[in-house]
């Protein structure tokens, strides 16, 4: 029953809605993207922020690890763009 679930970790830092999150297996970090136009990286063991990319030109809508690009997070913006970069910490 999903109603019985409790949060184990709350990530605080974005100033607007979070659209997506992903686990980056190469680094072991979590990545979140938001309407605040930032990409944030987190320690999944304690929720501590590790770094921020941005703000960018547009809200970030999705993220995913990309093993073929050596652990790079890739996402899309609301201006119909696709971005990629070396976001490893």
Give the three-state DSSP class for 69.
helix
pLDDT in tens, 16-62: 999 999 988 878 889 999 999 888 999 999 999 999 988 887 888 88
pTM for the whole thing?
0.80
Q: What angle do CA 2, 17, 29 make, to 5 degrees?
A: 75
pLDDT at residue 88 in the model: 55
Collect all residues with Cβ–Cβ distance below 8 Å to 4 and sequence separation of at least 6. Answer: none
pLDDT at residue 24 in the model: 85
Between residues 79 and 11, the one the model is more confident about? 11
CA–CA separation, 52 and 44 (whole Å): 15
């Amino acid at each position: 029953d999903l109603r019985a679930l409790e949060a184990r970790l709350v990530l605080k830092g974005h100033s607007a809605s979070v659209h997506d999150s992903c686990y980056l297996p190469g680094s072991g970090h979590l990545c979140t993207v938001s309407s605040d136009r930032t990409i944030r990286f987190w320690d999944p063991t304690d929720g501590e922020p590790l770094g921020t990319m941005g703000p960018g030109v547009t809200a970030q809508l999705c993220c995913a690890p990309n093993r073929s690009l050596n652990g790079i997070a890739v996402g899309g913006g609301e201006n119909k763009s696709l971005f990629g970069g070396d976001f490893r910490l």
